[in-house]
Structure 1
């Protein structure tokens, strides 16, 4: 029996009971990984539930589908409304939204028929801290795993696709089975790429570093938000390749993602980062980010999109 996390779900154009959303066991995506998806946070703000950078997340869903030539049979506005309906229909004030487009039972064979259309679901449900409730304060222990991120021109890392996450599964599983909270991957050049499901930031001598797009990373919207907030506070943010040992010599490290939000790293490969505790700059960045939802940080960029009309 599937886990039930909400009462209702939006599936192929209609809201329905959570348990009624079913797909066939011969669905193409189940066999070949042909799905694209998004993760979107909804925060409880003084103006009501608000999707964080909702428009940009939905646009990235369509961009990912375009990269894989997967036609979504709904308009941009219809998907935006589905995100609202899935959240408000479950009376959620804070939530995680998961839109997912996939090929259903369109026949066997790697290449779907030319006239095949995607199915689309939008789920909204409560989801707390991805790496544990105390991770935001206490930080996490990570390991650089033996698994590399994908080489250029293999699978497009710029698309948020289901099949891509088998790489993340290997990275995270290896780390956790060896006693760590999360895993970090290097790219095929041996340089730091990203964590299994989050981008990486390193602080050294009050300067903030993060791997560039060419490091086989997903260009996270939370990553972009943190770069913007940090620069707005006067910090220099440098996007450049970094070696594994640069992590060992960092003053502070934190990871970012829609699910992870902002999580400090207290050790890498059992080497303590800085003092082994959340650093002051990391804490300041966290306060600026979460302040967007309490009103303590001005939303100069229009990132918060109220769901209620």
Structure 2
């Protein structure tokens, strides 16, 4: 991705000038936390969706990883994200704030290193392909198990956690699927490689419990929208065969937004297409991110006018 400007430690730097020394600890040990955030063309101009919540989670991830002090406050990073999108002249884009161990820490002690922060923004295409929202995608249950929460911290969006997702997603794509579903250490459904998962039974939505997953901000958004539509929403353990028997299955995330799983392990889910509940939630979510719902006002942070 080409970025005209990247925000680095308090100032905008031309994207072509951003370089990292080979001996950057984050590159060797995965000691970084990050966020994925979206900016949309909304009713009153370009707006970033749930920006503060994402930056608050970035801070929380850093604290979970072990940092005691951070170089920038939540408020400063919120303003930095707005500045980055504005400088790059983008109206719709994906933002990637990254807080990383830049120096020290070679003795595997985070207290011996320095935290740096960068923010990039670039135009974003459909994460699971151009037809994912309309037709849904094919998935399989991965042979790779989702991290155990006492092995790595699953509540934090830590860069070093993601080889687990790379292994699962690469395996699934090579097998001809679009996405992988990962089970937890007990054999229950956890999440996909970069998205949370829901099943639909009648007018009820079920999603795995919070304990072993990354609690997605899009997941929370969809749960709020579903309840406002009169749907029952609950978190509970989900077995693999419950996926097969569901009326609908869909996934949520900043990148994927909301997409149906039309087939899992060669079994059609429901009628094998995006179902009616998933479709209604897609429409509600699209309205929310574009400023078309009353609740949008609390979720959107508009860019300053040029």
Q: TM-score band, normalised by the shorter chain? A: over 0.9
Query: Corresponding residue for 1:268?
Result: 264
Instruction: Measure the CA separation in 1 of the matches of 2:113 and 2:150.
Output: 25
Shift of 1:296: 3.7
Answer with 29-38 or 4-13: which moved more: 4-13
The residue number in structure 2 matching 1:76 is 74
SS in 2 for 1:147: coil
Q: Could you tell me whether the CA contact under 8 Å between 1:87 and 1:124 is conserved in 2?
A: yes
Unpaired segments of 5 or more residues in structure 2? Answer: none
Of 248, 251, 262, the residue aligned with 2:244 is 248
Between 181-190 and 148-157, report the one with greater CA deviation: 148-157
Distance 1:170 1:260 in 2: 19
Of 18, 29, 41, the residue aligned with 1:44 is 41
> Number of aligned pairs?
304
Match of 2:286 in 1: 290
**1:78-227 mapped onto 2 (5 Å cutoff):** 78-106=76-104, 108-112=106-110, 114=111, 116-214=113-211, 216-227=212-223
Give the CA deviation at 1:105: 3.1
Runs of 4+ residues deviating >3 angstroms? 293-296
Conserved? CA contact 2:41–2:92, under 8 Å: yes
The Cα of 1:211 is off from its aligned counterpart by 0.5
TM-score calculated relative to the size of structure 1: 0.95
* Partners of 1:29 and 1:23 in 2: CA distance: 10
User: d(CA) in 2 for partners of 1:27 and 1:219?
Assistant: 29
Distance in structure 2 (CA, Å) of the matches to 1:294 and 1:100: 25
| Alpha-carbon offset, residue 10 of structure 1 | 0.5
Q: Matches of 2:168 and 2:133 in 1, distance apart?
A: 21
Matched residues in 1 for 2:74 and 2:198: separation?
32
Q: Between 179-188 and 150-159, report the one with greater CA deviation.
A: 150-159
TM-score (norm 2): 0.96
Aligned position for 1:63: 60
Q: Which 5+ residue runs of structure 1 have no aligned equivalent?
A: none
- SS in structure 2 opposite 1:104? strand
Greater mean deviation of Cα atoms: 103-112 or 6-15? 103-112
Is the CA contact (8 Å cut-off) linking 1:158 and 1:217 kept in structure 2?
A: yes
Give the match's secondary structure for 1:213.
coil
- CA deviation after TM superposition for structure 1 residue 78, in Å: 1.5
Q: Is the 8 A contact 1:157 1:217 kept in 2?
A: yes
- Which residue matches 1:13? 10
Q: Distance in 2 between matches of 1:110 and 1:17?
A: 32
Q: Deviations over 1:227-249 (max 9, x none)?
A: 00000000001110010000000
Q: 2:40 touches 2:290 (CA, 8 Å); kept in 1?
A: no
Q: Deviations over 1:33-64 (max 9, x none)?
A: 10000011111112111111100100000000
